[in-house]
Structures are given as structure tokens and as C-alpha cells.
A and B are shown apart, each in its own frame.
Chain A
Amino acid sequence: MIKRDILIKWHFSHPPEKVWECLTEPKLISQWLMKNDFKPIIGHRFNFYTKPIPQMGFDGIVYCEVLELIPNKKLVYTWKGGPRPGVIGLDSLLTWTLMPDGDGTRMILEHTGFSGWKNFVASIFMEKGWKKISRRMGQVLIDMK
């Protein structure tokens, strides 16, 4: 199945230990990401809480489970959301990878495994035939990039 994965690379001028703290301490996480009840334990289920976005079918709660944890190196958790409890529209995976880079840290964030309709829409947008059609789209496409 075709996926549209997000991969972002980032450099921090701080050592991996410092970045790791910010990825795994709930109070710190909430300062840059969202309120949460994260615990650095494999199998721990936790949520992120933010504002709902009804027009995107999102009720403001992200449901997560810690899958992998290698201190200062790698953190993997699921990232699921939907319009109301029990209904999942977005079923995805977050992978945080840290590597020492000089005095700082090189971080790779992967947001992968979009399934269901999102996956499908992504593949529609990637089809050649779609590109042909999209030339006629004008404004709609310009801000799509």
C-alpha cells in the first residue's frame, strides 16, 4: 500500500541526553508539544490532549502506546486519533531517532503508516493521471505544493 510518510531532520546544538529529556519527561513534553501522561515504559498507553479540530474529524485526543525505547537513541510510539472515543481515523506511528553530531544532536522524526482514507488520498495525489488533471486545477493546487 502506498504511504505518505513524513520525515523531518533537525539539528540541535545540545547533546542527545538533553534532547531525550525533552522527549520523555511529561512536563517537558507538554512545554513544546502537548499535555500528556507519557511514561518511558514499553507498553505504556498514554494520551496527548489538545484542541479538537472538528472539520478534520479530530476530537483533540491522540491515543498512544510506547513500542520501543532506547535511552538517548530511539523512541517509538503509536499515534492514533479520531472524531470521538473508539473511532480511529488516523492510525500512525512516530519514530524519534537521536544521534550525536559534534557537540549537538541530529534528530530524525518519522511519522509513518497513515492508513485508511488518508493513505488512499495520498496515493490519489501521487498518481500520474492525477498530475495531468491537476494542471487544470489552478488555484487549488498552488497552495498544495
Chain B
Amino acid sequence: MDTFQAIADPSRREILMLLTKDKMSINSLAGNFDMSRPAVSKHVKVLYEAGLILISDQGRERYCELKPEGFGEIKKWLTFFDQFWKEKLQNLENLLNERSKNSANFHPPGK
């Protein structure tokens, strides 16, 4: 499952949001949801397989934490439009300059 599918699910997004605060055990994650612990566990597995979280065992608990490297693909989207619009607006400026130069040639100023 790819990153986008993994975060398409609202519960999984919620899990990731909880993990932005701190690493959490699956039990304490489950405490934030109406669904069963196995259901939460299943979502955790999907997030793990998509490379978005790390899982470690501490004592009897399994702990989850965000894996920043996993968000690289999404990062591309975030920066995409900033760059996109700056390029396009530069195009627009060039076009405007070109058009005014052309019309200036047809109607020379001062005549």
C-alpha cells in the first residue's frame, strides 16, 4: 500500500496526528478511538507497512512513532504549487512585457 492510500483513511490520519505529539503505545492509541484494539492494531500495521511509522517493543507494550523519512513523497506535493505558481507568474510577466513591447512598436510613443 502506498503512502497516499495509507493516509486516505480518517482513522489512520487521526493516529498519525496523535503521534505528532509523542510516541504512543498501541493501547493508549486505542484509548482515543471507539473501535476495538485489534482494529487499531490493523491500522497501525498499514501505517507501518507504508513506512510512515516505526514500531518498537518496550516491556509488554508495543510503541509507535512517526517515521519522518516516510513522508518524503508527500513533501513533494507540499512544495509543488509554491514553485509551480512562481514559475507561471514569471511566464505571465514575460508575456505582458512582450505584448507591451509589440504594441509599442505598432504605436510608437510621442507620435
- Cβ A28 vs Cβ B95 within 8 A: yes
Instruction: Select from chain B the residue with minimum beta-carbon distance to A31.
Output: B95
Interface size on B, residues (CB 8 A): 39
Partner of B17, one of A116, A123, A134, A140: A123
Q: Measured between C-beta atoms, what is the minimum distance from B66 to chain A in Å?
A: 6
Verify A32–B68 contact, CB threshold 8 A. no
Interface of A is mostly: helix
Asked if A99 is an interface residue, CB under 8 A from chain B, the answer is no
Q: CB distance A18 to B99 under 8 Å?
A: yes
CB distance from B29 to the nearest CB of A (A): 15
Give chain A interface residues in 101-138, CB to chain B under 8 Å.
107, 109, 111, 116-118, 120-125, 127, 129-130, 133-134, 136-137
Measured CA separation A136–B91 after assembly (Å):
38
B77 touches A56 (CB 8 A): yes
Residues of A within 8 A of B39 (CB): none
A93 at the interface (CB under 8 A from B): no
Report the contact-size class of chain A (Cβ under 8 Å from the partner): 35 or more
Q: Which residue of B lies closest to A105 (CB)?
A: B96
Within 8 A of A (CB), among B61-75: 65-66, 68-69, 71-75
List the B residue with the shortest CB-CB distance to A79: B81
Tell me which residues across on chain A come within 8 A of B68, comparing CB atoms: 133-134, 136-137, 140-141
* B89/A109 in contact, CB under 8 A: yes
| In the complex, A51 has a CB within 8 A of chain B | no
